[in-house]
């Protein structure tokens, strides 16, 4: 008020000086339903007589209110909330545990215990339910995405050889374990990487790579953050795909060169021998470029026969003569490791 001229007060709502009211001019300055208080401001009430039947004047707010009237939950007693429809303080509704606890056309959001509107409105990227409908993504943020029940979202990212693509999914923490993000090759035939909320992959050829998101929840709201930077491409060897024992490539005795492990990749091979033969598998690689380890497994693909996981350039595993005639060879490293290597398979007769 000190910023205003004599006979004026500051209207904080509009931050302007307005004419101060008096008991004599309040009908003109304040209008119907308002009275003038001692500060020269137009208010709803200054005493209970200014309010209707069943209401009293709250002298702190200069508003008429009933016993349980409220504007926000801060106006209510501890343990009560303000109902925005009736502006009355009430007991908070109990947390729902199923849709049966909610009103018609409402469903229970179990993780919050709140009843929310039923139905799931699609996001603006729809329809993008197939590779052919994939929504183009550029580097940066894409917000306000939504997966409804049974929905799958497809996106495409244009990359050149050596581009490192990083995709971060932001969604409700409690829902992250039921969220799936998968990166496919441009033909949508090969899974390049799969995770819940993070993709980090360097491509070895140019193309429109495909990203698929889905959830096991009835609904998931999420955002995507896309980064594209320069990485080091990794060229697969001619034995791919051989990423588990069901895809193992057959190796004969001898030296096999030009092999490679790429990030989040492992190589599997199968070797046959006679019961009288000793099997020796030697792997050579430049460990300074990324450490690789070597396993020898029985014919079931699970039972470990020998392991070599040292810090040097050479790893060796061995199987003595015996009843087992079929073995799997597994070459692997840390998730981010990429390196070239060669394998030497030696079969020696022992009697």
Output the furthest CA–CA distance in the chain (Å, rounded).
123
In terms of Cα–Cα distance, which of 65, 70, 72 is closest to 51? 65
pLDDT score recorded for residue 81: 75
| pLDDT value at residue 112 | 62
Residue 27 DSSP code: H
Class for the domain spanning 131-230: mainly beta
Q: Pull the structure tokens for residue 238.
A: 């001619």
Tell me what pLDDT residue 109 has. Answer: 66
Region class of 288: left (phi > 0), else alpha (psi between -120 and 50), else beta:
alpha
CA dist list (Å): 131 to 127, 165, 174, 194, 215: 11, 18, 28, 16, 17
Distance CA 201, CA 209 (A): 11
Secondary structure (DSSP) of 185-252: -TTS-SEEEEESSEEEEE-SS-EEEEEEEEESSSEEEEEEEEEEEE-------TT-S--SGGGPEE--
How high is the pLDDT of residue 74? 66
Write down the pLDDT at residue 117.
61
The predicted pLDDT at position 71 comes to 63
Q: What is the pLDDT of residue 111?
A: 59
Collapsing DSSP to helix, strand or coil, 287 comes out as helix
**Neighbour count for residue 179 (Cβ, 10 Å):** 20
**CATH value of 245-349 in 2.60.120.380, 3.40.50.1100, 2.30.40.10, 3.40.50.1110:** 2.60.120.380
Provide the edge-to-edge strand list for the sheet that holds 198-202: 140-148, 219-230, 163-171, 198-202
User: How far is C-alpha 286 from the geometric centre of its chain's CA atoms?
Assistant: 36
Q: What CA–CA distance (Å, rounded) separates 57 from 276? A: 102
- Same CATH topology for 131-230 and 245-349: the answer is yes
Tens-binned pLDDT, residue by residue, of the chain (351 aa): 777 888 888 876 556 788 888 888 888 888 777 889 888 888 888 888 888 766 788 887 787 777 777 766 666 777 777 775 566 777 777 777 777 777 766 777 665 676 666 677 888 898 999 999 999 999 899 999 999 888 999 999 999 988 889 999 998 877 778 899 999 999 999 888 998 889 988 888 899 999 999 998 888 889 999 999 887 778 888 898 899 999 999 999 999 999 999 887 899 999 999 999 999 999 999 999 899 999 999 999 999 999 999 889 999 999 999 999 999 999 999 887 889 999 999 999 987
Where along the chain do its domains lie?
8-84, 93-122, 131-230, 245-349
- pLDDT value of position 320: 95
Task: Give me the pLDDT at residue 287, please.
Answer: 92
Which two tokens mark 193? 């990487």
Q: What is the pLDDT at residue 165?
A: 92
Q: How far apart are alpha carbons 123 and 145 in whole angstroms? A: 6
What local confidence, expressed as pLDDT, does residue 158 receive?
96
Quote the CA–CA distance of 282 and 47 in Å, as a whole number.
Answer: 96
| pTM higher than 0.75 | no
């Amino acid at each position: 008020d000190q910023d205003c001229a004599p006979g004026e007060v500051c209207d904080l709502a509009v931050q302007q000086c307005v004419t101060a009211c008096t008991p004599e001019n309040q009908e003109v300055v304040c209008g119907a339903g308002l009275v003038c208080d001692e500060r020269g401001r137009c208010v709803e009430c200054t005493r209970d007589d200014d309010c209707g039947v069943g209401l009293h004047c709250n002298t702190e707010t200069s508003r008429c209110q009933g016993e349980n009237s409220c504007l926000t939950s801060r106006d209510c007693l501890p343990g009560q909330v303000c109902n925005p429809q009736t502006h009355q303080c009430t007991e908070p509704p109990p947390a729902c545990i199923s849709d049966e606890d909610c009103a018609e056309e409402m469903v229970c959001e179990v993780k919050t215990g709140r009843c929310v509107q039923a139905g799931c409105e699609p996001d603006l990227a729809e329809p993008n339910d197939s590779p052919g409908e994939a929504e183009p993504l550029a580097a940066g943020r894409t917000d306000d995405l939504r997966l409804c029940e049974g929905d799958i979202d497809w996106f495409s990212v244009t990359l050149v050889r050596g581009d490192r693509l990083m995709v971060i999914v932001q969604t409700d923490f409690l829902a992250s374990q039921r969220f799936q993000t998968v990166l496919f090759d441009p033909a949508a035939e090969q899974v390049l990487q799969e995770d819940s909320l993070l993709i980090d992959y360097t491509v070895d050829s140019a193309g429109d790579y495909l990203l698929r998101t889905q959830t096991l929840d009835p609904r998931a709201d999420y955002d995507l953050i896309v980064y594209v930077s320069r990485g080091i491409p990794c060229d697969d060897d001619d034995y791919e795909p051989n990423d588990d024992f069901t895809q193992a490539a057959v190796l004969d005795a001898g030296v096999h060169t030009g092999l490679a492990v790429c990030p989040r990749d492992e190589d599997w091979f199968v070797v046959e021998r006679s019961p009288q033969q000793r099997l020796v598998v030697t792997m050579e690689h430049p460990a300074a470029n990324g450490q690789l380890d070597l396993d020898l497994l029985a014919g079931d693909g699970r039972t470990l026969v020998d392991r070599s996981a040292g810090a040097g350039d050479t790893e060796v595993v061995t199987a003595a003569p015996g009843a087992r005639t079929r073995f799997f060879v597994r070459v692997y490293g840390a998730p981010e490791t990429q390196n070239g290597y060669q394998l030497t398979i030696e079969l020696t007769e022992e009697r």
